[in-house]
Amino acid sequence: MTTTNRPLPTRSGRRHVTLGDAAREFGRHPTPWMIGATLVVAAGVRIMLGDWTWADVAVPVVMLAAFPFFEWAVHVCILHWRPRQIGALRVDPLLARKHREHHVDPRDVALIFIPWQALLWVLPVAVAVAVLAFPRPGPGLTFLTNLAVLGLCYEWCHYLVHSDYKPKTAAYRAIWRNHRQHHFKNEHYWFTVTSAGTADRVLGTYPDAGAVATSPTAKNLHGQPS
């Protein structure tokens, strides 16, 4: 008789998943490791450098406040980019293509994560910003460290919402409901992933779900092939 450590399906067809189960699956994918390696290196160098100032407090606070709006802008402007034909050139970036595939099948685990190919240029750009946009190395490394923390939080939260893990707290339940409404109710609203009712409220994309029609293109963005 064989045994398995994989969670068993429930009557609804979804599996009973614990946080430990989710964490083990999360660790099987390359993107969290790439961001995690960036975090370890940036934090290690920052600690060795020392020279702490008030900027090391201000930078994380500003980044945390701005992150829902950054997340919203990336989701709207990049992930939901509508393919365009400019002469003989079709402008359809990898991130937009993969995100359309993600909407087609929100339960495909590989499509939940930021494509690792995109991180091959995103992470060097983040390092360049840390080096060039700050007058001293210390605040730049603080920026890079916190950016990696926010990136890991985004990947974990996004993965967890799409997994079979059931919400246990009111805060997580709100985030879970917010993102699932974006996928299964109407793709034109609820663009934040790691929070609910933050940037969406400010930017007018947090309607009463009961007053919003179910979109026929929630699983087929722009009516375009994935």
Find, among 102, 82, 101, the residue nearest to 93 by Cα: 82
123 pLDDT band (50/70/90 cuts)? very high
Query: pLDDT tens digits for 187-220?
Result: 999 999 999 989 999 999 999 999 999 999 999 9
∠ CA 215-217-219, rounded to 5°: 110
Give the tokens for residue 108. Answer: 């495909």
Name the region of 110 (left: φ>0; alpha: ψ -120 to 50; beta: rest). alpha
Of 59, 81, 79, the closest CA to residue 71 belongs to: 79
Quick check: pTM over 0.85? Answer: yes
Distance (Å, whole) CA 213 – CA 130: 43
Compute the distance between CA of residue 151 and CA of residue 119 in angstroms, rounded to an integer. 11
End-to-end CA distance of the chain, in Å? Answer: 42
What residue ranges in the chain does DSSP mark as E strands? 84-86, 89-91
Cβ count near 88 (within 10 Å): 5
Q: DSSP per residue over 52-71, as a string?
A: --THHHHHHHHHHHHHHHHH
pLDDT tens figures, 125-174: 999 999 999 999 999 999 999 999 999 999 999 999 999 999 889 999 99
